[in-house]
A and B are shown apart, each in its own frame.
Chain A
């Protein structure tokens, strides 16, 4: 177990209503977290269509954008998160260990 896993993942996903890439990003993120971070993550989905001002908090320009708030340091991944491998690397998650170990 790493420090990250103990602390848990606090993720914030910025979307824009029901745009195709926003919908895809939400779906892909949930699936990925269930597979690799089950029980150790929280996801906050922020719809900027409803409140565009929230974009300022994390200086969001492109949507969808995923922010890893915790564990630190802050990381951002832009896109619909369809490339799972790239997302895992971006979030510093070890797929081989996390994918199997957290299921039981």
Chain B
């Protein structure tokens, strides 16, 4: 044994440091402000030990050979093995694939084996020294929770974007009837932010404008909120008092919103704007009724034409020819109406269509002259019939029955309320007109349509030089401008 000098020799100091380093002591004396103080080393480590045990990540240390020295309780849970089983195993044996042995202070994803399953984890490692030994400290984070959280967050974002993009007004109500989420359209209708408000506050129902069978509008607001938040119902037509949508109709529906445990956590309420759909339905109903009316009308006209023609026809052959001509005229008039979508047609265009057979091959035999005039749809049929009668007569007995004669049709509009249309029919160059011919003429039909259907006046002169007819009737829808006539023609 070497002799040691008294007092504190330098090698004693080294011995002290080495003893602390090697863990041969469990307390040290430190100089505090009030003199020496004893610090128990285990107490220093205690907070860290508690933290490591409480942390939600798995934690472990392993030596240079990869042998596990320590694990926390969470790693035991993650791997499905006890701590005693884990200590002494190799770090690599915890993983399904290759183990991330050195991640250089960053997280690396791997798969942990756990009771036969594979658990996605993020592994973080760092080198440490324990009692002079080189070791590795690792933390293992269970990514299933993170991934689930990410999925939930994605789903939440997705649901939110659906809600925000929806073109219908959609709100999510809490069980107490307060709005938790609202679609863009919902806030557009209400013209204010909606989260936190009750449904009835955001969308007051218009009791007076709603359908009489709609009980909802008579429910007290607080009861309505409760009803919407708790009871499912589908498609109740309502109107809202919100100024922006006062005249629009909505279909109100509510469906429960349940959590994973199937417990109700509120409801989804939708307000679908059905104004256009209703309008289209109404229009359809009007159209069907109109069509019905017109079919009945046309049948009545055909019946009337048939009986009149029969009364005036000398033979079956004459009846067939006249009747067929008149039905054709009706068909032409109907074509005009269909092509112009029942808007009406310019007078010149109407005359050209009705008189087309008589202007072939020489269109100069029928001269048309007058300003642009719009003939309303309801006047197309009677006027066509009258013109057809005049033309048929001209082709049988009048100026269109020989090669030289012509018909001059001129018209003008007389101001007034309503405007009146004055149209003259002058035949020139035909054979001399006889009284017998006048008798056989479709005068009755012309008078009937002009005086009865068009509420106008008609004058027919059977002059020897040619028939002269003056037709005059009110344009109840008024004479239209050239632009409007042009528009009607373009439509056709």
Binding site for B on A (CB under 8 A): 16-17, 19-22, 48-49, 52-53, 55-56, 59-65, 72-76, 78-80, 89, 92
Contacts and interface: CB of A to CB of B under 8 A. Distances in A.
A74 B4 contact: yes
B31 to A, nearest CB: 10
Given A19-B27, A48-B36, 10 more contacts: A21-B26, A53-B35, A61-B28, A63-B26, A64-B27, A65-B25, A73-B4, A76-B12, A78-B25, A92-B1
B281 interface: no
Interface in B30-75: 35-38, 40, 42
Contacts, number: 80
A78 B24 contact: yes
25 contacts: A19-B27, A21-B25, A21-B26, A22-B27, A48-B36, A52-B38, A53-B35, A53-B36, A55-B38, A61-B29, A62-B16, A62-B25, A63-B26, A64-B25, A64-B27, A65-B25, A72-B6, A75-B4, A76-B12, A76-B15, A78-B19, A78-B24, A79-B24, A79-B25, A80-B24
Nearest to B25: A62
A74 B36 contact: no
A52 B29 CA distance: 8
A22 to B, nearest CB: 7
B40 A62 contact: no
B8 interface: yes
A22 B35 contact: no
A52 B35 contact: yes
Interface of B: 1, 3-8, 12, 15-16, 19-20, 24-29, 35-38, 40, 42
A57 B354 CA distance: 136
Contacts of B42: 19-20
A48 B29 contact: yes
A19 B4 contact: no
Contacts of B12: 76
Contacts of A80: 24
Nearest to B28: A62
B28 A73 contact: no
A79 B19 contact: yes
B350 to A, nearest CB: 118
Contact of A63 (B5, B15, B38): B38
Given A62-B19, A78-B19, A22 B26 contact: yes
Q: What are the nearest 6 A-B pairs in CB distance?
A: A16-B27, A79-B24, A63-B27, A78-B19, A62-B25, A21-B26
B25 A63 contact: yes
Contacts of A75: 4
A16 B38 contact: yes
Nearest to A82: B24
A46 B165 CA distance: 79
B36 A63 contact: no
A98 B1 CA distance: 17
Contacts of B8: 59
B1 A89 contact: yes
Nearest to B43: A19
Contacts of B15: 76, 78
A49 B28 CA distance: 11
A53 B42 CA distance: 22
Which of B5, B15, B20, B42 is the most central at the interface, judged by chain A CB atoms within 10 Å of its CB? B15
A83 to B, nearest CB: 9
B376 to A, nearest CB: 113
B7 to A, nearest CB: 8
Contacts of B27: 16, 19, 21-22, 48, 62-64
B25 A52 contact: no
A52 B40 contact: no
Nearest to A61: B16
B131 to A, nearest CB: 14
A74 B28 CA distance: 21
B40 A19 contact: yes
A52 B30 CA distance: 9
Contacts of B4: 73-75
B10 to A, nearest CB: 12
A55 B1 contact: no
Contacts of B40: 16-17, 19
A49 B38 contact: yes
A59 B15 CA distance: 13
Contact of B6 (A17, A53, A64, A73): A73
Contacts of A79: 19, 24-25
Contacts of B1: 89, 92
